[in-house]
């Protein structure tokens, strides 16, 4: 691996690819950390790492957030398996979402190591929630600032979701433990950058506190549609073997593109616990 580290932007609003870095090299940490703060989504190529290396790198960011619902790597309960097998008729992460937003202290970042990849497709799209907030009109910003929304794991991982394709394949577990409900600001201030970001998502946000159901549904559906249909907010990560990609859940959403049926796609993911509740 070259001694020169190159950081290439992936898109105008979000994302960068790092060439020449080694996550096992502690001297590369300051460059990687700065890129993470600046670009929110970082893809590092050619990371031939072991699960222990993955965890060592993850612990530089903070305490591990153990996933309750994904199966884990054998002998590594802190590493979740993100798996889409050939015979499955649905894929994990097809909705735009923010990892663990249903927790009181959501995951600060997620770190995914590509393991098995399809011969084509299987990209992941990311959306900047800084850019999403900035693109709103001043009237909409004024209306949303100070509002709070509920996020829940129940509809995604709970007993009512057990009939869906992912549960049937055994990719998810502990449906009886999907009891998390968390109240977060609709607009949060990032603790590192100090910038405002929109913090609602299709995967886990259920309703805005204090509004009638139709009011909440109208606002949330509009915001979710805006995020899903606005390319200028996004970047796209094309996976290669041994790519390590990590993203800041406080200011991004992501969407796994399922365009590779009937092939398999898998990765090993470690999430980092947030040190504090999201704040307005």
Set 22, 54, 68, 97: catalytic member: 97
pLDDT at 169: 53
Write out the two tokens for 169.
Answer: 């394949």
- Pair type for strands 181-185 and 148-152: antiparallel
pLDDT at 164: 55
Set 190, 207, 254, 255: catalytic member: 254
pLDDT at 144: 98
Judge contact between 248 and 36, C-beta under 8 A. Answer: yes
Q: How far apart are CA 127 and CA 230, in angstroms?
A: 9
Judge contact between 233 and 133, C-beta under 8 A. Answer: no
CA-nearest of 247, 258, 241, 271 to 15 is 247
Asked, as a colleague might, if the bond just before 102 is cis with ω within 30 of 0, I would say no
The H-or-E segment that residue 256 falls in is strand 252-256
Judge contact between 165 and 89, C-beta under 8 A. Answer: yes
Block residue for tokens 């946000």: 205
Judge contact between 125 and 267, C-beta under 8 A. Answer: no
pLDDT at 168: 46
254 catalytically annotated: yes
54 catalytically annotated: no
Write out the two tokens for 61.
Answer: 């960011």
**Residues contacting residue 195 through CB under 8 Å, at least 6 positions apart:** 130, 189, 251
| pLDDT tens-digit map of 13-29 | 999 999 999 999 999 99
**Within the chain, which residues score under 70 in pLDDT?**
1-2, 162-171
For 242, counting Cβ atoms within 10 Å of its Cβ (0-12 exposed, 13-18 middle, 19+ buried), the class is: middle
190 catalytically annotated: no
pLDDT at 98: 95
Set 22, 68, 99, 250: catalytic member: 99
How many CA atoms does the CB half-sphere of 264 hold within 13 Å? 10
CA-nearest of 85, 107, 87 to 97 is 107
Q: How far apart are CA 25 and CA 216, in angstroms?
A: 47
235, β-bridge pairs = 126
CA-nearest of 222, 198, 96 to 147 is 198
Q: What is the DSSP letter of 109?
A: E
269 catalytically annotated: yes
């Amino acid at each position: 691996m070259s001694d020169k580290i190159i950081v290439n932007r992936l898109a105008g609003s979000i994302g960068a690819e790092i060439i020449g870095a080694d996550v096992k090299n502690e001297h590369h940490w300051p460059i990687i950390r700065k890129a993470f703060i600046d670009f929110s989504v970082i893809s590092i190529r050619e990371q031939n790492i072991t699960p222990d290396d993955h965890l060592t790198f993850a612990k530089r960011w903070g305490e591990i957030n153990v996933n309750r619902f994904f199966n884990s790597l054998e002998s590594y309960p802190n590493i979740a398996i993100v798996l889409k097998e050939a015979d499955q008729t649905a894929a994990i992460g097809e909705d735009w979402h923010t990892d663990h937003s249903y927790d009181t202290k959501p995951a600060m970042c997620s770190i995914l190591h590509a393991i098995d990849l399809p011969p084509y497709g299987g990209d992941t799209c990311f959306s900047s929630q800084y850019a999403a907030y900035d693109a709103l009109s001043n009237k909409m910003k004024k209306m949303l600032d100070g509002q709070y929304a509920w996020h829940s794991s129940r509809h995604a991982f709970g007993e009512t979701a057990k009939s869906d394709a992912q549960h049937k394949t055994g990719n998810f577990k502990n449906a009886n433990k999907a009891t998390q409900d968390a109240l977060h600001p609709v607009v949060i201030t990032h603790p590192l950058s100090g910038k405002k970001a929109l913090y609602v998502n299709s995967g886990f946000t259920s309703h805005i506190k204090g509004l009638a159901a139709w009011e909440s549904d109208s606002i949330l559906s509009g915001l979710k549609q805006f995020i899903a249909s606005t390319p200028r907010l996004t970047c796209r990560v094309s996976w290669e073997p041994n790519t390590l990609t990590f993203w800041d859940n406080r200011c991004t959403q992501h969407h796994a593109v399922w365009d590779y049926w009937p092939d398999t796609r898998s990765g090993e993911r470690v999430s980092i616990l947030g040190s504090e509740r999201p704040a307005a």
